[in-house]
Amino acid sequence: MRKILIANRGEIAVRIVRACRDLGLSSVAVYSEHDRTALHVRLADEAVAIGPSPPAESYLRVDRIIAAAAATGADAVHPGYGFLAENPDLAAACVSNGLTFIGPPATVMALMGSKTAARRAARAAGLPLVPGTLDALDGAATDAELLGAAADVGYPLMVKAVEGGGGKGMRMVRHEHALLDAVRACRSEAMASFGDDSVYMERLLARPRHVEVQVLGDQHGTVRAFVERECSIQRRHQKLIEETPSPNVTPALREALLGRAARLASSVGYVNAGTVEFLLDADGGFYFLEMNTRLQVEHGVTEMVTGVDLVEWQIRIARGERLTLDPDRFVTPRGHAIECRICAEDPDTGFLPSPGRIETIDVPTGPGIRDDSGVEAGAEISVYYDALISKLMAWGTDRGQALSRMRRALREYQVSGVRTTVPFFRWLLHQQAFEIADFHTDSVDTLLQERNGEGFSDRDPSLEEVALMATALELAMRSRHVADRSVSAWAAAARREALRA
């Protein structure tokens, strides 16, 4: 393996470029029309255009990914996460074209990508399941069959897309009269997002926690499970904050979670990086939720507490190396790490996307701080792609220090040109529920309801006045053709600095 094509964009593409460079390998970026000047394109050794801005015409085109690999002489393809990362067609196309796919085999990906097939595999491996249907309910299922299946599962329940993921294709149903409408809505979203309208049902657990276990498997049968990640801080089933280790997982529960995750991965012949996800109930029980057959967005917090470079090991496993790391590095965390997903969304308008050009971006640094980003000043946040700007991470010797460092980093994080979720995180990390780790998957939605629409803006009103006065002065001088450029420049600079602050 000498050259790796990265079938992705943004932060994860930058992350893989840097891993390639650390290993002495060449990297090839692919890019859409919108991304022709993107950071991952500039950093890679080579770059290939693969189509227009819409993902369906570029990053989701298996044929164009394979053609780009052939044109550049790449030996392997790394899919990152999102886009084609869990698409078995890409994995199979790589193999048929003599390329190494840096991920699990296509057959394993297809097995675990189906939520119902994954549930059956987990049951066979001895993992406890959330009560629910084991078989898919496709479009041929009658209303009577749907109502009967729901009655067997019991209310309240979740209707989920069989091929779902990322919080899409999910509906909560509390009463029988709402079931059929929920199924229709879920089918519609599933077809639009995944091309398959099959659904299944699961009992809705009250106040669950969401915990996941990172696994690595080599081509020689060795599987290792890492200390768990806590992912319960979510909004509408979308993860916002992740941390490791979970502040509420006991050593005994950790041993059980890691053991079951490794058992499942071994039983299906898993190779490379993946994640087994669990729900924990209020009584301490745990249940298999799903398996993601790719690298996770939040892999960085695991790296910070284990010292293991997961992307590097993905590549090393793909080229046939044995997983030789000391097992103790996987299960014994060194300190604590927290991650906030900084997105171009406006929390004051219900987290609506905030596309536009990033004028300035000041990223915090210092002990224990890491920021993984795929953008820089001048970058354009597009409506075509995920609004993620960066993943801000903080490490400490314990959770208290990690939390203090994250709060400090959020105070220093400054972006102008687009609205971001930074003010929201500044508020959330000071909530008592987060401080004492007394939260579940619905906690954020409950806290937001209690705010009753109160905004998150933390700008000083006096700075807004300075910005307005500086703008007025600048416009007045331009209209009168005043020749004193130093004053005009001061006005423009004052406006920028006030808005940035």
Question: Number of C-alpha atoms within 13 angstroms, CB side, residue 317?
Answer: 30
The answer to whether the CB of 163 falls within 8 A of the CB of 198 is: yes
What are the b/e assignments for 103-115, b being 16+ CB within 10 Å? bbbbebbbbbbbb
- Residue 428 burial by CB count (10 A; 0-12/13-18/19+): exposed, middle or buried? buried
The answer to whether the CB of 297 falls within 8 A of the CB of 373 is: no
For the chain, state the CA radius of gyration: 24
Check if 294 is active-site: yes
Of the listed 294, 341, 405, 419, which one is catalytic? Answer: 294
Question: Number of C-alpha atoms within 13 angstroms, CB side, residue 64?
Answer: 19
Tokens of 442: 């619905």
Could you give the CA distance from residue 462 to residue 459 in angstroms, rounded to a whole number? 9
Which are the contacts of 84, defined by CB distance < 8 A and separation ≥ 6? 7, 59, 60, 62, 65, 90
**CA 381-385-390 angle, 5° bins:** 60
Could you give the CA distance from residue 268 to residue 126 in angstroms, rounded to a whole number? 13
The answer to whether the CB of 418 falls within 8 A of the CB of 344 is: yes
Helix H or strand E segment including 416:
strand 414-416
Type of residue found at 128: P
The answer to whether the CB of 360 falls within 8 A of the CB of 368 is: no
Tell me the DSSP string of 28-91. EEEEESTTTT-HHHHHSSEEEEEE-SSGGGTTT-HHHHHHHHHHHT-SEEE--SSTTTT-HHHH
Max Cα-Cα span within the chain: 80
The answer to whether the CB of 36 falls within 8 A of the CB of 53 is: no
How many other β-carbons are positioned within 10 Å of the β-carbon of residue 431? 15
The sign of the dihedral angle between the CA atoms of 273, 92, 89, 73 is positive
Which are the contacts of 309, defined by CB distance < 8 A and separation ≥ 6? 19, 22, 303
Tracing tokens 């041993």 back to the chain, one arrives at: 255
Could you give the CA distance from residue 141 to residue 501 in angstroms, rounded to a whole number? 56
Q: Which residues are catalytic?
A: 294
